[in-house]
Amino acid sequence: MDVSDELLLNTFSKFGKVTSATVIRDMFTQQSKGFGFVEMPSKTEAEEAIQKLNTEELNGKRIVVNVARPKRDRPRRR
């Protein structure tokens, strides 16, 4: 079962205010691409969410939670 924006929001809201929570979906099939983005205005709350949720399970799938980096800072894929 895919994770919804609402489930992502509710999961991260346990650690503080969430300004946005979005699951990235395929533009044609609307199926989850397996990742999403959550924005939290408080760095402290965001760090706690990262620490507590990284490698936890959400809808039966282990999740990886980290700080998003701009595309230019990511290593190139081949």
pLDDT tens-digit map of 3-56: 999 999 999 999 999 999 999 999 999 999 999 999 999 999 999 999 999 999
pLDDT at 55: 96
DSSP 13-34: HTTS--SEEEEEE-TTT--EEE
- How high is the pLDDT of residue 24? 95
pLDDT over 80 at 76, yes or no: no
Q: What is the residue extent of each domain of the chain?
A: 5-73
pLDDT at 73: 64
Q: Where are the alpha helices (DSSP H) in 1-78?
A: 5-13, 43-53
Domain 5-73 of CATH type 3.40.50.1000: no
Return the structure tokens found at 16: 């503080």
12 - beta bridge partners? none
Contacts of 33 (CB under 8 A, 6+ apart): 24, 25, 26
